[in-house]
Structure 1
């Protein structure tokens, strides 16, 4: 089982707290096929993750009154749904039933999404931007293990995710609100840990030996480098 982020006067002080928890470069060329999960697991997880991001974003749309924000969220949600459907088509082309391929991972990945939904819309926007970015990178790295199927999935995941408007909304908040900047920075650090745990758990061995660690180290190093660039783009330190 796979187990599974312009004030003229200073406003009144707020106490913002996190709610309690209940591009890849060389990494794409790292061959760690022996550690990769079977192709059904790879496809099921990749497809359900995109569906989960679509669900999270559409819930945010309903909860957001501002039209500008609804538009930004709708673009990202649409991109996630397109990726989900494209991976579902790949599953069907292999002669498999998509719901059956995804079902074993539904509970674990839903739990991950619940753990990374923030108490505020900006936290959840950041969650999608960071976790989807890191996991898309990770599944791109895994894709080289699956021949033509992997190449098709890599092509799907390489398509833009239309999250730039979300980035701009987050950046505006970070630049104008020091308290939210601190909160989002702390939230991002939590998200990284949770996301790396999912990536580790997706690999075939339950425990990685020293030789296995050496094989995957370049991938996780690249994941963190790409994450640092995303954080820089937001105006936050990784």
Structure 2
């Protein structure tokens, strides 16, 4: 008998956010009424990774430099592996992954279009930064779903090819210092739209009443974003 996971009795949840590589204290926020249903969490997480794969694949086609093609192919492969891993979790619980992801396609495609820059380097920076923020957010949410959440967290922690993109961005900055200010400005512009995706991942019917519960999480996400920017030599 299939145990339909979205029909299970909801548990009291707390969201714990930890920047990757940080073994210190975590920020915990009570999300008993804000954390999404499991199928909503899985559907969005899976479709986001599919979108990153598509964007990076387009980047491969759009570059002539072989070393860059290879670097982007590794990053794209990592995103596809994450997508497949989450899809496997959905399938194992008796649901159709396409049906689970479909409700979020329109909004997440719109988000992805907003983060495609006028230049390939801007798009690569967008993939690196938005994937970092959203992986952090979904890693935090994963702690709400027991064993299934642990599996998704393990998938999200797998290598993401981010170092490949960082190398390309740093080479770009070193080639012409004007890139530094341009990419710094672009990186700052990405924050608002990415936080809206985080907000949209939660239960919409309670957000207005419980908005203050999310603020500490936003603060942590923005702090991790600033550290990524600083590590690349970009002003945040």
Question: CA distance change for structure 1 residues 28 and 59 in 2, over 3 Å: closer, same or farther?
Answer: farther
CA contact (8 A) 1:47 1:84 kept: yes
* Alignment-derived partner of residue 50 in structure 2: 51
Q: Report the alpha carbon displacement of residue 214 of structure 1 after superposing the two structures with TM.
A: 3.9
Question: CA distance change for structure 1 residues 99 and 28 in 2, over 3 Å: closer, same or farther?
Answer: farther
Structure 2: distance between partners of 1:74 and 1:226 = 26
Structure 1: distance between partners of 2:100 and 2:38 = 10
* Alignment-derived partner of residue 226 in structure 1: 224
Structure 1: distance between partners of 2:103 and 2:27 = 26
* Alignment-derived partner of residue 163 in structure 1: 162
CA contact (8 A) 1:53 1:128 kept: yes
SS at match of 1:35: coil
TM-score by length of 2: 0.86
Q: Give the CA RMSD over aligned residues.
A: 1.7
TM superposition outliers: structure 1 runs of 4+ over 6 Å: none
Q: Report the alpha carbon displacement of residue 77 of structure 1 after superposing the two structures with TM.
A: 0.3
CA contact (8 A) 2:34 2:206 kept: no
Q: Report the alpha carbon displacement of residue 28 of structure 1 after superposing the two structures with TM.
A: 6.8
* Alignment-derived partner of residue 9 in structure 1: none
CA contact (8 A) 1:61 1:70 kept: yes
Q: Which moved more, 1:167-176 or 1:93-102?
A: 167-176
Question: CA distance change for structure 1 residues 28 and 75 in 2, over 3 Å: closer, same or farther?
Answer: farther
Structure 2: gaps spanning 5 or more residues: 1-18
**How many residue pairs get matched?**
215
Structure 2: distance between partners of 1:183 and 1:148 = 43
SS at match of 1:189: helix
- 1:84-233 mapped onto 2 (5 Å cutoff): 84-206=83-205, 208-209=207-208, 212-233=210-231
* Alignment-derived partner of residue 11 in structure 1: none
Structure 2: distance between partners of 1:27 and 1:139 = 15
CA contact (8 A) 1:30 1:219 kept: yes
Which of structures 1 and 2 has the larger relative contact order (alpha carbons within 8 angstroms, sep 6+)? 1
Structure 1: distance between partners of 2:203 and 2:86 = 21
